[in-house]
């Protein structure tokens, strides 16, 4: 498209670019891959159990006065 519309400015999606950068870093480091895998397992544990997820939310409210969402990585496309 850039060659067809030379008068237009194309800005890359920052979220996609960051995902690519971190993807490359995690591919090169066994240490980061291991930590990432363990973090995903912990997050999945809380997502699969409404009981423990509720306990986590209650503790967050006591400590932080807010709930902090646990998110799992997903594809950008």
Task: Sketch the domain layout of the chain as residue ranges.
Answer: 14-64
Whether pLDDT at 23 is above 60? yes
Q: Judge contact between 70 and 43, C-beta under 8 A.
A: yes
Q: Write out pLDDT tens, residues 27-63.
A: 888 998 899 899 999 999 999 999 999 999 999 999 9
User: What span, in angstroms and rounded, lies between the C-alpha atoms of 18 and 7?
Assistant: 27
| Mean pLDDT taken over the chain | 86
SS3 11: coil
Considering the entire predicted model, what is its pTM?
0.60
Whether pLDDT at 76 is above 60? no
Which of 32 and 15 is assigned the larger pLDDT?
Answer: 32
């Amino acid at each position: 498209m850039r060659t067809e519309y030379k008068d237009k400015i194309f800005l890359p999606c920052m979220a996609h670019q960051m995902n690519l950068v971190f993807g490359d870093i995690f591919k090169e480091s066994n240490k980061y891959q291991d930590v990432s895998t363990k973090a995903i397992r912990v997050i999945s544990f809380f997502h699969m159990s409404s009981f423990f997820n509720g306990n986590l939310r209650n503790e967050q409210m006591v400590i932080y006065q807010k709930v902090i969402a646990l998110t799992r990585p997903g594809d950008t496309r």
